[in-house]
Each structure stands twice: as C-alpha cells, then as structure tokens.
Amino acid sequence: MLAPARFGTQFWCFQSVVKGGSALADEHNSHDGDDDLNDEIITEEMLWERIPETQGIERASTYYELSARIYARGQYDEALALAETARDIYSELGSAAPTEGLAQAYSAIGYNLNQLKRMNEAATAMSKAVELLRENKSPMALELACTLGEWWFSSKEYKNTIECMEECAREHLIDGNELGAATDFHLIGCANRELKKYKEALEAFYEARKYFKAAREVIHVARCDQKIAHCYTELGDAESALAAAQKAVDVFTTAHDHRRLTYASFELGKAQVLSGEVDEGLNTLERVLDIAAESEPKDFEFIMAIERRIAQILHTLGRSDEAIEIERRITAISEILED
C-alpha cells in the first residue's frame, strides 16, 4: 500500500519534493535501519497504478506526488492539472482534509503557474498556501511567504509585495534572522520605488543596508547604495545621491562586478548632473550607454532610460536637435516593446 505523506508531522515544500526526488522517497530514507523500506522504490508507473486503489487523503497525496515528478521534467501544464486535482480532492474532504496537505497542493499549483509565466495566478495560489500554513502555525509559512512576495513583485502588484514582505521581515527579526530581514526590506524598498514612494523606499533600503552591513555582505550593501542614490536623485537631493552612488561605484569597481558597475554608474551620472556637474555627468552617462549598447543580450529598457536622460540634458544645454533625434529613435523602440 502506498504510504501517504506524514501531513501531521512534516510538510514537504513542492520544490523540496522535486529537488529531493519525492516526498515518499524522503519517507523511506528516514528509516535508515529498515532494509525492506530502503529497497522499495516508488516509480511513477506505480503511482499511476495506485490511483484507482486509493481514495481521500491518500489519493490526493498520490496526485501531488505525480505532479512533483512531472514538474521535475518540465511538463508544467500536466503537472498543474495533477496539482489541481489534488487540491480538489482535499477541498471535497472539507474539515477532514489535513491543512498542510491542502496547502502543499496550492503551493504546487503556484510553482507550476509561475513556470508557465502566469504570475498573478501563481501569486494568488501561493497566497492561499501561505494563509493555510500560517493558520496551522507551520514553519514552512515564512519560506513560502518570501517566495510569494517575489511573485507579487514580478506581477507588479507592489502594494501586495510590501504587505507580504513587511510580515516576513517581522517574522525574520523575531526569529533572529537579520539577513533574511535584510532581503525582505530590500524588496520592500524596490516595491516602494516602483510606486514612486521614494521616502518610504529610502527607509526600507537603509534598514536593508544596516543588516547587510552587519553581516558584512559587501555587494548587497552596495546594491542598497545604488538604489538609495536613485531615490535621492528623484527627491532632488544631489549631495546625498552623489555620495551614495559613489559608494556603490567604488564597491563594484573594486569587486570587478562590471554588470552592477554599469547600473551604479548610471546613478552616478544622474547625480552628477543634479549637483551641477553637467558636463561630467553627461560624459558618465555616455560611457554607460556605450557599455550597455555593447552588452549581450541588450537591455533595451535600460538603454532607453539612459538615452532619455541624455536627451533631457541636451535640451538644457541648447542642443535640442540632438535631443530630438534621440527621442525619435527611442519612440521607435518603445513601439516595438509595447507591441
């Protein structure tokens, strides 16, 4: 008889099932002294054969296990359908269904939808899994909540991102996991920045920076400085923007992190212009543009952001003919990307 997952004592995250082979394999491997169990290998064919012989929780667990196996092969549509079947069976059981079993089905649905680039639906499914796990006080809730926050951000649901990650940050700090909280605050800052709430973004980035610095995470501190510079530029604080951007540039230069150096230099160029160093800022931005244009694959959104900033500067310098030519080219690319 196929042994169901031990919902009452252990919860297997969907990705953990995939990475580890299967929940059932973990079940067997936990009995190191039991040769009979260790010798038994549950194949995918055996799982399919068990479905007509099972019902209720065991049947749902079998569908979930099959979903994990098929997810690992990259067949996300089929894996999604199996995970949805597992969820439906648990739902039909009502109060008799184990909360963590239903939660893992929702998380599986979320992971498959994520792979299918249906980000908003993925986040909605994962939010249900997190809700169930938190009700059950499962330790897996926090890990999945962090994933959920990232998915909300990818879906451009920035308010949901902030709400989700603020709760994660509180939980991480209660647990004493300051590095985890730093990552949470960084994402909160990014979401506020997208909402153009730059003061709130600064607060979050400074919190993230504090914890990253305490952990001696040099690159992550510089990533915060780069974003801090952006916020100060948008708020018109040239001195603070210039200081933060220079710190980021210094770190990435020393680390030979050329990709991040390019983005930090963009912030430095903007800050230089804002502080009155127009010619120097323009030169910095033109160097950044050359690097971005030569990179493969090309980040056209970034290239256009640089070109727009250069066009603004050229207008102020009375070189509007050059600026208009740049804007004309940007329009052509924008139309392609919008389509």
Can you spell out the DSSP letters for 31-96? Answer: -TT-HHHHH----HHHHHHHGGG--HHHHHHHHHHHHHHHHHTT-HHHHHHHHHHHHHHHHHHGGG
Tokens 């999945």 — which residue? Answer: 144
197: buried, middle or exposed (CB in 10 Å: 19+, 13-18, 0-12)?
middle
CA distances 295 to 300, 303, 312, Å, are 10, 10, 24
Alpha carbons 310 and 322: distance in angstroms, whole number? 10
Question: Residue 299 in 3-state DSSP?
Answer: coil
CA distances 138 to 125, 135, 279, Å, are 17, 8, 57
CA distances 81 to 87, 125, 225, Å, are 10, 14, 44
User: Mean pLDDT per 10-residue run, the chain (339 residues)?
Assistant: 31 48 36 43 87 92 94 95 96 91 95 95 95 92 95 95 97 96 98 98 98 98 98 98 98 97 98 96 96 92 95 94 94 85
Please state the separation of Cα 75 from the chain's center in Å: 22
Q: Which of 26, 6, 7 lies closest to 16, judged by CA?
A: 26
Alpha carbons 266 and 226: distance in angstroms, whole number? 9
Cis previous bond, 98, omega within 30: no
Q: What is the pLDDT of residue 41?
A: 78
Per-position b or e across 243-278, b if 16+ CB within 10 A of its CB:
ebbbbbbebbeeeebeebbbbbbbbbbbbbbbbebe
Alpha carbons 71 and 81: distance in angstroms, whole number? 11
Type and span of the H or E element at 134:
helix 119-135
- Do residues 100 and 137 make contact, with C-beta atoms less than 8 angstroms apart? no
25: number of Cβ within 10 Å: 15
Helix 178-194 to helix 218-235 angle, to the nearest 10 degrees?
30
Residue type for position 234: E
- Do residues 15 and 140 make contact, with C-beta atoms less than 8 angstroms apart? no
Cβ-based neighbours of 331, under 8 Å, separated by 6 or more: none
- Do residues 30 and 3 make contact, with C-beta atoms less than 8 angstroms apart? no
Q: What is the pLDDT of residue 14?
A: 56
Alpha carbons 329 and 300: distance in angstroms, whole number? 12
Alpha carbons 316 and 307: distance in angstroms, whole number? 14
| HSE, side-chain direction, 13 A CA sphere, residue 308 | 10
- pTM score of the predicted model: 0.83
Residue type for position 52: P
DSSP, residue by residue, 16-27: HHHHHS-HHHHH
- Do residues 125 and 146 make contact, with C-beta atoms less than 8 angstroms apart? no
